[in-house]
Amino acid sequence: MYADKAAIKAFADWARVPEAIARLAPDDYYPKSNVLPDRIEGLDLAMADAVAFKYIAAPLSKEQLATLVLAPLK
């Protein structure tokens, strides 16, 4: 979507929106920096919610996170 103009048409078809609206997606809704698969942020907040809503008993340890998320954590 960021390098190939044909991707905009494919996205428009998939999202069932006009191409003019689909052209806004990369910059306004899906900035490239936000869709990088090796960047994960907010795990501490997600774990706090998971504990509060009783999905998990306690926050995951660094070792457990390393097993769960197979990407370098910063």
Residue 74 has pLDDT above 70, yes or no: no
Residue 14 has pLDDT above 90, yes or no: yes
pTM above 0.85, yes or no: no
Q: What is the DSSP string of the chain?
A: --S-HHHHHHHHHHHT--HHHHTTIIIIIS-GGGS-TT----HHHHHHHHHHTTSSSSPPPHHHHHHH--S---
The two three-digit tokens of residue 53, written as one number: 């809503």
pLDDT tens, residue by residue, 39-54: 778 889 999 999 999 9
Residue 73 has pLDDT above 80, yes or no: no
CA distance 5 to 24: 13
CB 11 within 8 A of CB 22: yes
